[in-house]
Amino acid sequence: MKQKLIGPFTQLLPMTGITVNGAVKDEQLLVIENGGIIVENNIIIAIGQYKDLLKQIDIKDTLLEEVKGDSVCLPGFIDSHTHICFGGTRANDYAMRNAGKTYLEISKAGGGIWDTVTQTRKASILELEDGITKRANKHLKNGVTTIEVKSGYGLSVYEELKMLRAIKNVDNRIKADLISTCLAAHMHPKDYSGTASEYLEEISISLFPLLKEERLTTRIDAFIEEGAFTAEVIAPYFKKAKEMGFTITVHADQFSTGGSKVAVDFNAISADHLEASTAEEIEILAKSTVIATALPGASIGLGCAFTPARKILDAGGAIAIASDHNPGSAPMGDLLTQASILGTFQKLSNAEILSGITFRAAAALNLKDRGVLKSGLLADFSAFPTSNYKEILYQQGQLKPEMVWKNGAKIDF
Ligand code: NIG
Ligand code: FE
């Protein structure tokens, strides 16, 4: 393929030069005025001022992909935590919760995670694939070019395999990249007659080898919470996962603490949620290499507190921001809107929010080939119709990208 020069963009924010950890001010953001990007196949070859790139290229060998009007170019967003593989809906839960019903009352009325498990088990693999495709394409349209997707509504070897195969099949078909994670440890399945430890042992013995064999995922997640799994029960499961070479990630401190300590002890790549984290958890997370992932979509969906992102950043921690898109606690599924709102409640700079949905999210997925725009990395980026990058978060998700490129190709919506 011929190389392409894409631009000029009124402003281009490569998101380079900022560390993964700690607070960052907008003044530290590099903004290239009238920027451009040279792309060959799926890779960025050069980045800089459009007029300089024009001088650098051989015009016979370069296609000019002109961008008209005002535009701000950002790296493709990365949503490092979603549950977009599911059957059914939980609109009933949402209505009941807003009408003041408790978690227990909703669960007794047939709602909660188990309801989605039942509906996901009823769905065929093709129906699941259809749902993932629609949701992932909507994210892509909003500038999200990489999406993590968890299983966790199957809760048996057979049903978890169905979910992970569906995610893999869709990843092979669509433009966005899907990064799968096994969340068989989402809750103790109601139809499993043994103990929580026996369930986890069965999953680790029967499912883990198949995940490797079919290359379904390299990541293992667990929900550490009262009513889900305790630190003690999860320890042998995570130990086995690590021995087999899986990367660990944790649903931690959502309603009660304990999960972030598990994440640090097992050297997890990320600890996600953290709404209930106190000074103690913030300190151990900030001192560790674990990426702390805020999930504002769950706070908005449940009407709960936000992750203390400000305190985590000020303590020197790394904050990624993800949508947690799922039918129960985070039905909205709009990363940019949620990240903007988290920013207003947690007093985050543009630089911190945009880092959280680009390279800091890439770090939470251990992806070194994306998240910033620089030569040698994937040509994943989007253009918003404005001349000032500050408009993007100011408009709280209502300003959508006009164009999105994935692997160097402009997506045709
Ligand atoms: O990340 N916290 C646990 N799991 C999901 C909720 C899943 C559901 O309610 O269906 C979460 O918020
Ligand atoms: Fe989640």
Percent of the chain with pLDDT over 90: 98
The ligand 1 atom at the shortest distance from the C-alpha of residue 153 is: 10
Query: Which amino acid, 100?
Result: G
Q: Contacts by 202-210 with C-beta closer than 8 Å and gap 24+?
A: 202/157, 203/157, 203/160, 203/237, 204/236, 204/237, 204/240, 204/241, 206/157, 207/157, 207/160, 207/161, 207/182, 208/240, 208/241, 208/244, 208/246, 209/244, 210/157, 210/161
Atom of ligand 1 nearest to the CA of 328: 9
Residue 163 reports pLDDT greater than 70: yes
Using the mean position of ligand 1's atoms as its centre, give its distance from the Cα of residue 371 in Å: 26
User: Residue 398 Cα, ligand 1 centroid: separation in angstroms?
Assistant: 26
Which SS3 state, helix, strand or coil, does residue 13 take?
coil
104 band by pLDDT with thresholds 50, 70 and 90:
confident
Mean pLDDT of all residues in 234-242: 98
The CATH code that applies to domain 3-75+371-410 is 2.30.40.10
Rounded mean pLDDT, 394-399: 98
- Please tell me the distance between residue 33's alpha carbon and the centre of ligand 1 in angstroms: 41
pLDDT at 1 over 70: no
Give the number of the ligand closest to the Cα of residue 150: 2
Name the class of domain 77-364: alpha beta
For the CA of 185, the nearest ligand: 1
Angle (nearest 5°) at CA 147 between 373 and 401? 55
pLDDT digits (tens, 9 = 90+) for 250-307: 999 999 999 999 999 999 999 999 999 999 999 999 999 999 999 999 999 999 999 9
H or E element that contains 59: none
Residue nearest to atom 8 of ligand 1 (CA): 328
Which protein residues touch ligand 1 with a CB less than 6 Å away?
83, 113, 116, 223, 251, 254, 298, 324, 326-330
What mean pLDDT comes out for the span 10-32? 98
Interval 172-225: pLDDT, tens: 999 999 999 999 999 999 999 999 999 999 999 999 999 999 999 999 999 999
- 84-102: string of b/e by CB count within 10 Å (b at 16+)? bbbbbebeebbebbeeebe
Nearest-angstrom CA–CA distance, 150 and 181 = 5
pLDDT value for 103: 84
Task: Point out the ligand nearest to the CA of residue 327.
Answer: 1
Share of the chain above pLDDT 70, in %: 100
Q: What tokens were used for 106?
A: 């909703």
Backbone angles phi, psi at 283, to 5 degrees: -65, -45
Domain with CATH 3.20.20.140 in the chain: 77-364
- Residue with CA at minimum distance from ligand 1 atom 9: 328
E strand spans, 196-255: 219-223, 247-252
Q: Measure 329 CA to ligand 1 centroid, in angstroms.
A: 6
Whether residue 346 has pLDDT greater than 90: yes
380 CA from centroid of ligand 1 (Å): 29
Mean pLDDT value across residues 74-96: 98
Q: Any idea how long the chain is?
A: 413
**Distance between CA atoms of 364 and 234, rounded to whole angstroms?**
21
Cite the residue boundaries of each domain of the chain with CATH code 2.30.40.10.
3-75+371-410
pLDDT of residue 176: 98
Which candidate, 67, 62, 12, places its Cα nearest to that of 35? Answer: 12
